[in-house]
Amino acid sequence: MKRSVRRTLVVLISAFALLAPAVAASAATDSKATVLSRWTQTTAASTAAWNAARLDRAPWASYGFDWATDYCSSSPDKPLGFDFTNACWHHDFGYRNYKDLGAFPANKDRVDNVFYADLKRKCATYSAVVRPACYSLAWTYYQAVSVFGSLASVSPSDLDRARSLVE
């Protein structure tokens, strides 16, 4: 198992090393919406590109991306020890920047799906013994953002239904 994880990491790092110059070059020519779309896909490569940009923001400064995060908002960032912080940050990034572009409603579901994909990839890094618990928490977090991720995108009837469940 460890050998396949190492092999996967080597492949991903090698691929990123080959693509990094192209990504940096595209920073000067692509629109903010194009870059944002590229960084909010469900693939591991998309998440890796976003994370690389997060760690080296200088080439992307002219776009005015909002990198702020409250991580998993009012939910634990590391429920039961599973570290969901980067997935939550990526999710916040998508929400904040699509809202800034005025394109949030059209992209909310996709950003939520990216969040779920990021969570599942994180869960896959844990041992097989605890992985099912992680996947269960990932599903719960995904459902929460899917329904309540932006109160502006939730219908009043859904809010009323949620209130009735907690009362």
- Per DSSP, the residues of 64-131 read T------TTTTS-SSGGG---HHHHHHHHHHHHHHHHHT-HHHHHHHHHHHHHHHHHHHHTTS-TTTH
Residue 18 exposed, middle or buried by CB count within 10 Å (0-12, 13-18, 19+): exposed
Domain with 114 in it: 2-166
Per-residue confidence (pLDDT) for residue 101, from 0 to 100: 97
Per-residue confidence (pLDDT) for residue 106, from 0 to 100: 96
Number of domains making up the chain: 1
- pLDDT in tens for each of the 167 residues of the chain? 566 555 655 455 555 554 555 444 455 589 999 999 999 999 999 999 999 999 999 999 999 999 999 999 989 999 999 999 999 999 999 999 999 999 999 999 999 999 999 999 999 999 999 999 999 999 999 999 999 887 554 456 655 666 676 66
Per-residue confidence (pLDDT) for residue 98, from 0 to 100: 97
Name the active-site residue from 35, 53, 91, 95. Answer: 91
pTM for this entry? 0.75
Residue 39 is part of a domain; what is its CATH number?
A: 1.20.90.10
DSSP string, 15-78: HHHHHHHHHHHHTTTS-HHHHHHHHSSSSHHHHHHHHHHHH--GGGGGGT------TTTTS-SS
Per-residue confidence (pLDDT) for residue 61, from 0 to 100: 97
90 flagged as catalytic: no
Q: What is d(CA 82, CA 24) in angstroms, rounded to the nearest whole number?
A: 32
